[in-house]
Structure 1
Amino acid sequence: MGKILLIADPGVDDSFAIMYALLNPNIEVMGIACGYGNVSQADALRNSAYLLKLAGREDIPLINGAEAPLTGLPPQYFYEIHGYHGIGGLNTEHITPAKVYPFQKIYDLISTYGKELTIVNLSRFTTLALTFVQAGSNIHDAGEIIVMGGAFLVPGNSSPLAEANVYGDPQAAKIVAAQGRGITFIPLNVSNRAIVSLDIIHDLSEQTATPFSPILKPIMEYYSMQYQSIIPGINGAPLHDVTLLSFLTNEDHYKLVHRQIFVVDDGPSRGLTYADFRPVPEIIPHYPINKIVIDFNVKYFVNDFVKTMSSL
C-alpha cells in the first residue's frame, strides 16, 4: 500500500482526487496539507475536513499549507468554476476542522515514513516550494514527488501559455523544477483529456454505496455546467487531479519522458513551462532532470476511476 501526503486546494477536481485516494485500497493517505488556489486556504481546510468526516477518516491529519503565493501578489481564486465554497453545489461553511497541524507536520511525516512517503501536489506550488527552502528541510528524504502542473507544447488554461497551478505562483514552480530530483509533472497535455462524463457520475451516484455517493451529483453537475462555457458540449468535466492518483497506482498506462523543466516567472509569458523536446536535448549542467507525463490510456483511466469510486 502506497503512503501519500496530499497537498490540495479543493476545489472540485481536488475533491474527487481526495475521494479516489480514500477509496483506493492501494493508497494510504497519511496527511492532507491544505493551501490556497481554487479556493482560499481556509475553504480548502473546510472542504478537506468535510470529505474526511464523510469517510470516517478524521484521524488523517490536516496541515496548514500556504495562504498566498511567493510572488507577493494576492491569490486568485476560482469559485465561479468550483462553486461558492469550492465543492460544487455543496455548502461546507458549517464545517470546522477539529484539529489543524502546523507546517512542521510535513517534515514530521517525512521523518516517520521516509522513502515510503509519496508527496502528491494537486495545488499551487507554494506549499511544496516552501518544503524545499525552509531551514531544516528534509524534503529529499521523502520518496516520489508527483505534481499537477504545466502545459508542454499545448495551450494553457489560465493564460494562452500557462497552466493554473504554475501561473498562480510561477516563482514557487520555478523553485520546485530547479531543486526537485526526478519529480513527475503531470501537465494539461494529459489532464485535459481525463474527462469523466455526467452519465458516469449519475450511475455512480445511483448504483454505489460509498460514503461519497450522495454528493457526487451536486458536485459534478455544478462543475460540468461551468465547463460547458469553456468547452461547449463536453457533458462532464476533466478531473485533472485524479490523474496523479491514477498514475501512482497504474504507471504502466502512462507514458513519460525525462527532461529538464524550466518555468518563466515574469512578463507576458509568465507561467510558461517548457523543456527541450528535440531528439537529442541540450543538457544544462548541474540542473535536475525531472519527468513529464506526455500521454496516457484514457479508457483505462475512466475505467479505473469508476472501479475505485464504486468500492468500499
Structure 2
Amino acid sequence: MTTPLIIDTDPGVDDALAIALAAASPEVELIGVTTVFGNVSLENTTRNALRLLALLGRDDVPVGVGASRPLIHPHPHLSSAHGADGLSGYAHTLPEPTRGPDHRDAVTLMRELLEQADRPVTIVPIGPLTNIALLLAAHPHLKPKIGRLVVMGGGVQGGNVTATAEFNLWSDPEAARRVLVEEDVPTTLVPMDLTRRCAVSAQWLTDLAKTSDVAATLVGLTPDYLETYRRFLGWDGMAVHDAVAVAEAVRPGILTSTPFPVDVDCSFGPNRGALVVDQRLEVDKPKTLDITMDADLDGLRSFLFERLAHLAG
C-alpha cells in the first residue's frame, strides 16, 4: 500500500529533484504540494512548483500557496545559490502549467488532505517551516493523521547561511522551534551535515541527463547551483539536500537516524536559527528528535539515479 505524501517546498534546484523523485517512486502517492517563501519569492516558488509538476506529467497534484514571510520577523534575504528565478535562470525551459494554484491556501489544502486520508500521511517540508507551524497550531486535532514529518534542515556541526545556521531553519527560526521542539508529531530531521556528504558529481548529472528528456530538462536547471557548490565542496559536484529527505520518506530507513534532544536558537545574536543538538550520552532525554547522521552514500546515490532515470520522456 502506498504512503500518501505532501511536499512543502520552495523550489529551488534540489527541490526540483526532490519533487521528481516523489513523482517517480511507486511507494508513495504524491497527493499535494504546498509552497512557501525561501530560496526565492513565494510567487516564484509557486510558479516553479506548477511548472515542475507540468514537466513531470503531474498536473493532477494540487498546489496550495503558503506563507510569503516568516511567522514573526522579516526574512533577511533570499538565497542566491539557485539564481534569480530559483532554477539557475532556466525556469523558462519548463513547460507552462495547464492550471494555476489550487483555490485553497497551503494550510487549508493540507488540512483537507489530512482529513480525507484513509491512512497516515507523510509530510516532507524542504523549505522554511512556516506553513507546517501554522498547520499544527491551527489544527492540532489532525496530528494523529500525520504518520511522520521528514524535515530537511539544520546543521549539527554548523551552518551554510551563517557559521551556525542552515538556510531553512534560519529563514524562520520561530516556526522551526515550534515544529521541531514544541510539537509532538513523529519527526525525522535530515540535516545538511549528511546531505552534503550525499552530494552528486557533475558526471553523475551528465549521465542522468542522458536517460530521458525529462531528466535532461531537470539537469538543465543546475548550472548556477552547481557552480555555487563547486566552491562549497571544493570539487565538481553539488548537494541535493531536499532529494535526500524525500528518499527517506520514500524508503524509510535508507538513512540512519539517532535520537537527540534539540533546540533552535531564536535569539538575535550570531547563532540565530542554529540547530542545537545535545549529543551527551549521559543526560536524561525526555524528548528527542530522530536525526539522520549516516547513510550508505553510494547506495543512496544509486537509488536517486535509478528513480530519476526512469522518469517518463
Deviation at 1:249, TM superposition (A): 3.0
State the number of aligned residues: 304
Equivalent positions of 1:187-198 (< 5 A) are 187-198=191-202
Letter in 1 for 2:167: A
Deviation at 1:173, TM superposition (A): 0.6
Of 62-71 and 84-93, more deviation after overlay is shown by 84-93
In the alignment, is the contact (CA less than 8 A) between 1:115 and 1:144 conserved in 2?
no
Deviation at 1:119, TM superposition (A): 0.4
Relative to the length of structure 1, the TM-score reads 0.91
The match for 2:270 is 268
The match for 1:301 is 300
Equivalent positions of 1:8-23 (< 5 A) are 8-23=9-24
In the alignment, is the contact (CA less than 8 A) between 1:198 and 1:221 conserved in 2?
no
- Give 3-state SS (helix, strand or coil) of 2:100's partner: coil
Equivalent positions of 1:1-312 (< 5 A) are 1-74=2-75, 76-78=77-79, 80-92=80-92, 95=96, 97-100=99-102, 101-102=104-105, 103-113=107-117, 115-134=119-138, 138-152=142-156, 154-177=157-180, 178-206=182-210, 208-209=211-212, 212-232=214-234, 234-266=235-267, 267-284=269-286, 288-312=287-311
In the alignment, is the contact (CA less than 8 A) between 2:22 and 2:250 conserved in 1?
no
Kindly tell me: are residues 33 and 236 of structure 1, through their superposed partners in 2, closer, same or farther at Cα, counting changes over 3 Å? same
Letter in 2 for 1:155: G
- Give 3-state SS (helix, strand or coil) of 1:77's partner: coil
Of 10-19 and 218-227, more deviation after overlay is shown by 218-227
Deviation at 1:125, TM superposition (A): 1.0
Letter in 2 for 1:71: I
Kindly tell me: are residues 239 and 273 of structure 1, through their superposed partners in 2, closer, same or farther at Cα, counting changes over 3 Å? same
Deviation at 1:276, TM superposition (A): 2.0
Deviation at 1:43, TM superposition (A): 0.7
Deviation at 1:259, TM superposition (A): 2.3
Deviation at 1:137, TM superposition (A): 5.4
Deviation at 1:290, TM superposition (A): 2.1
Letter in 1 for 2:21: Y
Kindly tell me: are residues 223 and 116 of structure 1, through their superposed partners in 2, closer, same or farther at Cα, counting changes over 3 Å? same
Query: Distance between the aligned counterparts of 1:193 and 1:239, measured in 2?
Result: 10
Letter in 2 for 1:311: H
Query: Distance between the aligned counterparts of 1:273 and 1:186, measured in 2?
Result: 12
Query: Distance between the aligned counterparts of 2:205 and 2:284, measured in 1?
Result: 45
Of 267-276 and 167-176, more deviation after overlay is shown by 267-276
In the alignment, is the contact (CA less than 8 A) between 2:91 and 2:221 conserved in 1?
no
Cα RMSD for the two superposed structures? 1.9
Deviation at 1:138, TM superposition (A): 1.9
In the alignment, is the contact (CA less than 8 A) between 1:258 and 1:291 conserved in 2?
yes
5+ unaligned residues in a row in structure 1: which ranges?
none
5+ unaligned residues in a row in structure 2: which ranges?
none
Query: Distance between the aligned counterparts of 1:137 and 1:130, measured in 2?
Result: 13
Deviation at 1:95, TM superposition (A): 4.3
In the alignment, is the contact (CA less than 8 A) between 1:49 and 1:62 conserved in 2?
yes
